[in-house]
């Protein structure tokens, strides 16, 4: 029973139980009114860790799932009014994912009481795959070497050479019988079963070939109007085309393998059939330059 002599209008920190409240008018104990009430024990929500990602490989995809049990009785179930606040912010949910390593805090409220908990997501340092080739441009049927350059301590190396060939080991030797671009993938895995992979391109070439026409007809008929060599298996860097007249004067020059000579000198077309000299420098995929010198006839 509350003290009837008090004038307080509220009482704090009451234990759960039955209470009788008496209201007295002045000092007249004959003018008293009473009311019975019950103070319930409202427990805070219980937070438990349901699942947590295992120690993973530092890929920012850890996850946490919690279970929460709130107060309920025959008339009300506070589990239906739970809210969740995560730090860092991960929304109003019992499950969070795409997590980096770190500490995550959740505050759970049933709109009467709240509780909080902290969880730590840990990661192990997984491998970062890398490999090097002694050359990324190789000739057909030439044996070359691929070597692991992974950061970490892998114990498994699996290679896909891009031509239905598979190898294993930290260092392998390979070759290709046909020219083309091959995409080599290396998969690595360490003792913690952390894994990674990387893909790089290997260009396989045949011998440099340069085809040079011996004449052209710059008459704007859409056929053979430009003098330009046709090349295969060459590098654009290092290319050079120069045209000289009969007196050894340079009349045209370009380093663009897509640009040809249109038969003009100083912006004016040549009006008679004339023989010119050319010098072509083409670079193969080994970096070696090949010079071609000859003559071409401009037909009018």
Q: What is the mean predicted confidence (pLDDT) over 176-186?
A: 95
Q: What is the mean predicted confidence (pLDDT) over 259-279?
A: 95
Higher-confidence residue of 152 and 24: namely 152
Residue 126 lies in a domain: no
**Taking 90 as the threshold, does the pLDDT of residue 174 lie above it?**
yes
Q: What is the mean predicted confidence (pLDDT) over 14-27?
A: 70
Q: What is the mean predicted confidence (pLDDT) over 183-196?
A: 92
Q: Are residues 87 and 18 in the same domain?
A: no
Confidence of residue 8 (pLDDT cuts 50, 70, 90): low
Q: What percent of the chain has pLDDT over 70?
A: 90
The pLDDT, as a whole number, for residue 70 is 92
Q: How far apart are CA 53 and CA 60, in angstroms?
A: 11
Q: Are residues 216 and 243 in the same domain?
A: yes
For the question of whether the overall pTM of this predicted structure is more than 0.95, the answer is no
Note if the bond before 11 is cis, omega within 30 degrees: no
Q: Are residues 215 and 241 in the same domain?
A: yes
**Taking 90 as the threshold, does the pLDDT of residue 153 lie above it?**
yes
Domain boundary among the residues 121, 146, 170 is at 121
**Taking 50 as the threshold, does the pLDDT of residue 199 lie above it?**
yes
Query: Which range scores top for mean pLDDT: 100-114, 122-136, 245-259, 279-293?
Result: 245-259
The pLDDT, as a whole number, for residue 9 is 63
pLDDT in tens, 39-74: 667 889 999 999 887 677 776 678 899 999 998 887
Residue 35 lies in a domain: yes
DSSP-based three-state secondary structure for 80: helix
Domain boundary among the residues 121, 154, 188 is at 121
**Taking 80 as the threshold, does the pLDDT of residue 114 lie above it?**
yes
Tell me which residue range forms the domain holding 9: 1-41
Closest CA to 100 of 152, 66, 63, 49: 63
CATH number at residue 156: 2.60.40.10
- Per DSSP (E only), the strands in 88-234 are 95-99, 102-109, 114-121, 131-133, 137-139, 144-148, 154-160, 166-168, 171-174, 180-190, 195-205, 209-211, 215-216, 230-232
H or E element in which residue 192 lies: none
Query: Which range scores top for mean pLDDT: 31-40, 54-63, 257-266?
Result: 257-266
The pLDDT, as a whole number, for residue 30 is 66
Residue 138 lies in a domain: yes
Closest CA to 169 of 155, 190, 185: 155
Phi and psi at residue 81, in whole multiples of 5°?
-120, 25
**Lowest-confidence region among 53-62, 126-135, 190-199, 283-292:** 53-62
Q: Are residues 282 and 214 in the same domain?
A: yes
Q: Are residues 151 and 190 in the same domain?
A: yes
Residue 22 lies in a domain: yes
Q: Number of folded domains in the chain?
A: 4
DSSP-based three-state secondary structure for 114: strand
Q: What percent of the chain has pLDDT over 90?
A: 62
């Amino acid at each position: 029973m509350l003290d009837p002599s008090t004038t307080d209008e509220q009482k704090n920190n009451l234990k759960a139980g039955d209470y009788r409240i008496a209201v007295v008018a002045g000092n007249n104990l004959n003018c008293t009114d009473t009311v019975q009430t019950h103070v319930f024990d409202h427990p805070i929500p219980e937070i438990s860790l349901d699942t947590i990602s295992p120690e993973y490989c530092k890929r920012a995809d850890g996850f946490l799932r919690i279970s929460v049990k709130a107060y309920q009785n025959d008339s009300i179930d506070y589990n239906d009014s739970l809210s969740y606040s995560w730090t860092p912010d991960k929304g109003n949910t019992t499950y969070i994912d795409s997590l980096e390593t770190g500490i995550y805090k959740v505050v759970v409220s049933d709109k009467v009481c709240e509780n909080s908990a902290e969880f730590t997501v840990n990661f192990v340092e997984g491998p970062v795959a890398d490999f090097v080739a002694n050359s990324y441009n190789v000739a057909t049927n030439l044996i070359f070497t691929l070597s692991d350059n992974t950061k970490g301590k892998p114990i498994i190396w699996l290679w896909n050479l891009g031509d239905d060939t598979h190898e294993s080991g930290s260092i392998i030797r390979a070759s290709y019988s046909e020219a083309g671009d091959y995409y080599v993938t290396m998969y690595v895995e360490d003792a913690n079963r952390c894994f990674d992979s990387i893909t790089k391109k290997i260009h396989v070439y045949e011998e440099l070939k340069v085809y040079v026409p011996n004449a052209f007809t710059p008459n704007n008929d859409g056929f053979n109007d430009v003098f330009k060599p046709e090349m295969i298996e060459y590098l654009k860097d290092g290319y050079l085309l120069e045209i000289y007249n009969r007196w050894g004067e340079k009349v045209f020059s370009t380093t663009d393998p897509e640009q040809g000579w249109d038969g003009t000198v100083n912006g004016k077309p040549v009006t008679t059939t004339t023989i010119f000299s050319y010098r072509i420098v083409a670079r193969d995929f080994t970096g070696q330059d090949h010079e071609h010198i000859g003559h071409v006839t401009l037909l009018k």
